[in-house]
Structures are given as C-alpha cells and as structure tokens.
Structure 1
Amino acid sequence: MSDAPQTSGRIVIPNDLGARLEAIAAPLPDPKPLRYAAVLAPLLPAIDPEEGPRLLLIERAGDLRKHAGQLAFPGGKPEPDDRDLLETALREAEEEVALDRRVVRVLGRLAPVPTPTGYMIIPYVARVVSDWRPTVLDPGEVAATLTPSLRRLSDPAGYIHRGSAEWRGQHYELHEFAIHTPPLWGATARMVYDLLQRLDLDPRGGDR
C-alpha cells in the first residue's frame, strides 16, 4: 500500500516523495539533437490545510519573443558557469522570483520533457521549507507568479485531456489545467501532470 498524500480531508506531501521521483544524480538521457534546459518545480507550504501545499508557477511576460504570456516553472538554458542542470534550475529561480536556495530542499527529478521548440527540459522538484514569498525581479521576463494548491490542480473539474501527439517518435499526452487565463498547457502541463501522478492525485480519476 502506497504512502498516499491524500486523506478524506487534507492533502499532504508524502514522506516518500523523493523515492517516487527520479534521483537527482541519475544519468540524464542524451538530448541530441535537442538542447538541455532545466526548471524548478517548487512546492510551497499550504495556506489552507484543506487545499494542501501549493505549486509555484510564473506567467511569462507578454512581449517575449517565445512563449509570451504562458504559464511555466522558473527555469531556462544552462549558463557556462553552471555546475550542472540543477544549478541552472536553482539559479534561474533566484533570478526570476528571488527564491533563495538556502530555503529549498531538492527532492528529485520528473521525467525529461522534449519540446518541439528544440529543448529537452529536465524538471527538478523541490520543497520550500520556509514562509518565503515569490518576488518578480525581472518584469521583462516574468509578468506575475501563481501558487495554485494541489487540490485545485488535481480537481477534475478544471482539467482537460486534449488527446495525444507524437513528435520525433515519442508519444505523449496533451493536458490542460484551467487555473488561469490563459490556462496551463504545453510542456509545463505535462510536468504538472507527471507530478500529480506521483502524488496519487491524478485528475483523470486516479487514486483521489
């Protein structure tokens, strides 16, 4: 029997979430012909215990050349001084929303997400272990931050399955979460859905 995070009333993070994720040091797949990018999926403490912990998302600035106005996790491309992709994810979170890595406990990785825009995104899941609040540092990149609760994200009423697709021989499902205008979709929605499944919070009718 799994150490499920949900009870009849409250949603909590399971103690074994790290074991449900891919190990931080596990070998990464060869991205070629794609290029690596990394994001951080930070879990914030609950405000309402009935709603459960929250997941930090950013709304990208509306005048960016790519992905303008879309919801995403903090992240981006590696810089020459980054030791590894985890460093990339942590650095980008610091630069975009002032997330101090000293209050972050990185738990593991979600499955890599290849994108038609030419990247293989490596998502790292972390818990924020303080009452830190996000601050937009660069309005030219980030228009706003959102912190939807796990209950809201896993609510079937706000979830839409958009079918499936294939790209470069890989099959993947298309997910949409109606938590904002515009909704959460695309690569980030695939990451969120992966995380919800690992938390036993599948909005498509898993163990709820």
Structure 2
Amino acid sequence: MKNWLADALKDDNPAARGRRSDFDLNRDAKLIAHKDKPIRDAAVLVPIVDHVDGPSILLTKRTEHLSKHAGQVSFPGGKIDDTDADAVAAALREAEEEIGLAASHIEVCGFLDTYRTGTGFEIVPVVALVQPGFELVLQETEVDAAFEVPLDFILNRENHRKQSAVWQGARREYYAMPYGDFFIWGATAAMLVNLCEVMEASRHRAPAGLGKVSV
C-alpha cells in the first residue's frame, strides 16, 4: 500500500492536475462570482487506514448546529493558522483536535491537487497512511461522527455520481458518493475522485486484493 501511494502521489503522475476546484463542473454558474473574494488557506488530512483486511478512508460528519457546512461529511481539517509551520502541520493539528487522531499513528505520504472551493478556501489535501490501533475522541461541538469507507468503494467508478442542485439562482453540479447512511458530496467527494484518478494511474502498484478499479 505504501509503495502504491508513493507512486500515485508523484508530481509526474499523468492524472495529477496541480489544481482543482468547484468551478471545474460549474464554469458557467454564479459560483464564478466568488473568484474575486479573498482566498483562505486550509488543509485537510486524507487518512488511509492500513487495515490488514483492506485499507479504508477515515471521514467525519460535522454537527448539525454549525454555521457553515453543518451536517456535511468531510476530512479532518480546517484553516491554516499563523502558528502552523505548513499545511502538513495544520492537517495534523486539526486531526488531533477534531477526532483525537494522534500523529504517532500517521505517516504523511504526499499531496493531492490543491482544491479551491466556491466559498473561497484553497485546500491542500495531505494524504497519510494511518496505522490501526488508534482511539478516537471526537470534539463534540464540531464532529457528530467518524466513520470509515473501504478504499475499494472509493476506487470503484460506479460509486462516483454527478448530481446537481440550484444554488444562488444557478444550477450547480457536484460529485456525490452515497455510502450507507452517509452522503459524501461536494469538495470531499471531488478530492476522493482525485485520489481515485491518481491511484488508477498507478494501479500496477496495487496490492493484491485491490484490483477492483472500474474505469
């Protein structure tokens, strides 16, 4: 798994674009108006838990009372503070604050494409391999639940959907990956599509049992 990730996250991976955004699916929508707003730097941790019986992605569901992104599925992460050395430091700090995931269980492997949201966040997705055996402690004011999705599910293109809704008077398209009782969509789903694409491009490195990539 570690070798596969190392290969998939190389800068010369043909599936890597360098930058992605909400605007990729909505070039004519009113989201374009947000391009002139100040950019806020953020980082998220994309935690791949290296289980013996198959890796999974660790995700969170935000609480319903938050003023922004309430109830949404997301990666652990948030704004890069002035006290953070870099995006990696911010992602690790947020993971420990939000869900109690200690850095001692985390090995940073690289980065996905930077992702710009329609709300003005410039997100650095920090991909990490997480060793099992951790105990999560959720920050109850922000995180309602933490759950894992099999990596096989993410790598199966049949689970990637494009949906649309009217937002600020314009129709907006977004990626969605419903999983059980959880609805993964928007920037989180788009970053998972990015992960799928770069891992597809390196699937010759895939460990035995992870060959279920549908193109």
TM-score normalised to the size of structure 2? 0.73
Q: Residues of 2 paired with 1:153 and 1:133: CA distance?
A: 24
Partner of 1:19: 7
Residue deviations 1:20-55, cap 9 Å, x none?
Answer: 2156xxxx98x98411100001111226x2xx2010
- With CA pairs under 8 Å and 6+ residues apart, which has the higher RCO, 1 or 2? 2
Query: If each structure's strand is expressed as a fraction of its own residues, which one has the higher value?
Result: 2
For 2:136, what is the secondary structure of its paired residue?
coil
Determine the structure 1 residue equivalent to 2:114.
Answer: 112
- Unpaired runs of 5+ in structure 2? 12-17, 20-34, 165-172, 204-210
For 1:33 and 1:22, how far apart are their aligned partners in 2? 30
Q: Could you give the per-residue CA deviations for residues 86-140 of structure 1, whole angstroms, max 9, x where no partner exists?
A: 110000000011111122100000001100111011000000124224331x111
In 2, distance between residues paired with 1:154 and 1:19? Answer: 16
Letter aligned with residue 37 of structure 1? A
Q: What is the aligned partner in structure 1 of residue 51 from structure 2? A: 46
Q: How does 1:113-132 map to 2 (within 5 A)?
A: 113-132=115-134
CA contact (8 A) 2:45 2:125 kept: yes
Which moved further from structure 2: 122-131 or 139-148? 122-131
Larger mean Cα displacement after TM superposition, 56-65 or 74-83: 74-83
Instruction: State the superposition RMSD in angstroms.
Output: 2.8
Provide the rounded CA distance (Å) in 1 between the counterparts of 2:91 and 2:144: 19
Alignment CA distance shift 1:91-1:14 (3 Å): closer
Q: Which whole-Å CA distance do the structure 1 matches of 2:160 and 2:4 have between them?
A: 26
Equivalent position of 1:152 in the other structure? 153
Classify the secondary structure of the residue corresponding to 2:183. Answer: coil
Q: TM-score, length-normalised on structure 1?
A: 0.75
Tell me which residue corresponds to 1:194: 194
Gap change, CA 1:183 and 1:204, over 3 Å in 2: farther
Taking structure 1 as reference, are residues 119 and 44 closer, same or farther at Cα in structure 2, changes over 3 Å only? Answer: same
Rounded to whole Å, the distance in 1 between the matches of 2:187 and 2:5 is: 22
Greater share of residues in helix:
2
Runs of 5+ unmatched residues, structure 1: 1-12, 164-172
